[in-house]
Chain A
């Protein structure tokens, strides 16, 4: 193989690499959530489990009203393999103040973008993602998440 051929081959490989489309980020990774300690959450942090992601705000009454049901969901489904995350795009201090004043045990995370970037026009907004971070379910509005119908919904994604 001549030097010219080698160079051509290398260029071809480089070209192929440049032209192949980058792997699209999962829905979960696109959220770019941060823990309260500032660490960016990625799919690998889900540990191979599906996740329930609930967007809320301290000023959102329906959000606060459904939180006890989310706490109950965690108590029931965590041992069945779910991760529960409550996400707010408010100031960290405000979120931490709420955490300090309440005894919810699910994870809280921060979201830096505007809610409209996710087509969220009202709160609360909830999503279920699979272990790869891909979106399985979304719902706008408050729900009693620990009722039979919703527990069935959660478990249907575990089976799949």
Chain B
């Protein structure tokens, strides 16, 4: 009888130990935040070694600081300051970033031109010693025009170089009441910088784009690709892509014609992830007054896309993120709303876009104070950072293993 009892206990033990990875997948774990109360505007980056970095802003009165931490053995390191200043343009939708290219690091933030204006420049800094020290900041766009420049995306390139793309308002200034009217269109520009911050090459990628939506960029087998919200003369604002192929940029191509006719600011840019020839793009549209989150997939480095899949139909305000996992599955994040509350949702999809599971990663609210949740991945683990609002905001992070 004792033998039988021990056999059952052993069998139970073995059964529990054999719980598959599949069953453990999708468990959300909080990672203690390295950011103080009052922190906001998080961003995440995974380098080529799989190391994950978090950057964010902290404010003390008028002084703003850009800080970062590295994930080490499942915990964030102590925070490190990249730069600080009193005349920064801190905006809920246009947030700073950090990228890592071996020992080279590059970061950006936005800085007001003059006090009391809404014109601002991008400021970049480089570190060639893994963040131990940083260069003086420089302005990557060389127009010298007091206008809006922002919504930057950066990528590490070979030969210790950095690729950066941004929305450039150099042609938008014109005459009018308070200097806010008239002028030309917002453009999309890009450049490659060496490790000293000198421009290696610079281009205008699109001469008319939506003024206020994030850009997103990724490296494919051909080189960098950039996705952004386009803007036609008759105010159709759909997702567009440009690709650097054989040292030449392709003409802008619409990924999918949602035909969203809006003469205004959606503040909802696309998100792109790529590996070799696989490209995945997620975006928000409210064409036909129906808010939706969509996903489009390409297997030829962004030259063409399959018809998009609708991931969420209704009750969403977008704010999308996307990342490819090592097992070739795809995760997309977005916000779902109900009255004034919201939640950050993560969808996990096969490489063909079939839903595997959907998880709620965090409760939030739909106000602009909650900012944009961001995701990245390392292996088959997804990391998410967002701004938790309350009496004081705080950047929070979680991970999900798949």
Contact = CB atoms under 8 A, between A and B. Distances in A.
B212 interface: yes
B132 interface: no
Choose among A63, A103, A114, A121 the residue with the greatest number of B CB atoms under 10 Å from its CB: A121
B264 A58 contact: no
B235 A141 contact: yes
A96 interface: no
A123 B262 CA distance: 9
B23 interface: no
Given A58-B118, A59-B212, A65-B181, A114 B91 contact: no
A113 to B, nearest CB: 5
B5 interface: no
Contacts of A121: 266, 268, 284, 286, 291, 317-318
A142 B267 CA distance: 15
Interface string A89-101: 1100000010001
Contacts of A64: 118, 178, 180-181
Contact of A116 (B178, B181, B317): B317
Contacts of B262: 122, 140-141
Contact of A67 (B94, B177, B266, B337): B177
B41 interface: no
B172 A61 contact: yes
A146 to B, nearest CB: 12
B291 to A, nearest CB: 6
A121 B340 CA distance: 14
Nearest to A57: B265
Contacts of B198: none
Contact of A125 (B118, B211, B264, B366): B264
Contacts of A142: 263-264
A71 interface: yes
A143 interface: yes
A113 B369 CA distance: 11
B368 A123 contact: no
B355 to A, nearest CB: 24
A103 B179 CA distance: 12
B289 A122 contact: no
Given A61-B148, A140-B262, A114 B235 contact: no
Contacts of A115: 366
B339 A117 contact: yes
Interface string B324-352: 00000000000001011010000000000
Interface string A28-67: 0000000000000000000000000000011111111101
B344 to A, nearest CB: 14
Interface string B171-207: 0100011101110001000000000000000000000
A113 B286 contact: no
A40 to B, nearest CB: 17
Contact of A101 (B178, B186, B212): B178
Given A71-B177, A101-B178, A121-B291, A116 B265 contact: no
B365 interface: yes
Sorting the interface of chain A by its residue count into under 10, 10 to 19, 20 to 34 or 35 or more gives 20 to 34
A89 B92 CA distance: 13
Given A59-B91, A114-B366, A141 B212 contact: no
Contact of B265 (A61, A89, A103): A61
A2 interface: no
B177 A68 contact: yes
Interface string A80-124: 000000000110000001000111000000000111110101111
B189 to A, nearest CB: 17
Interface string B227-269: 0000000010000000000000000000000000011111110
A114 B266 contact: no
A84 to B, nearest CB: 15
Contacts of B212: 59-61
Contacts of A57: 265
Interface in B201-221: 211-212
Interface string B264-279: 1111100000000000
Contacts of A59: 91, 93-94, 118, 212, 265, 267
Contact of B264 (A60, A90, A97): A60
Nearest to B337: A116
Nearest to B260: A122
Contact of A114 (B116, B211, B286, B365): B365
B30 interface: no
Contact of B116 (A101, A140, A141): A101
Contacts of B318: 121
Choose among A71, A103, A123 the residue with the greatest number of B CB atoms under 10 Å from its CB: A123
Interface string A110-154: 000111110101111100000000000000111100000000000
Q: Nearest 6 pairs between A and B by C-beta?
A: A114-B366, A141-B263, A64-B180, A68-B177, A121-B286, A122-B264
Interface of B: 91, 93-94, 116, 118, 148, 172, 176-178, 180-182, 186, 211-212, 235, 262-268, 284, 286, 289, 291, 317-318, 337, 339-340, 342, 365-368
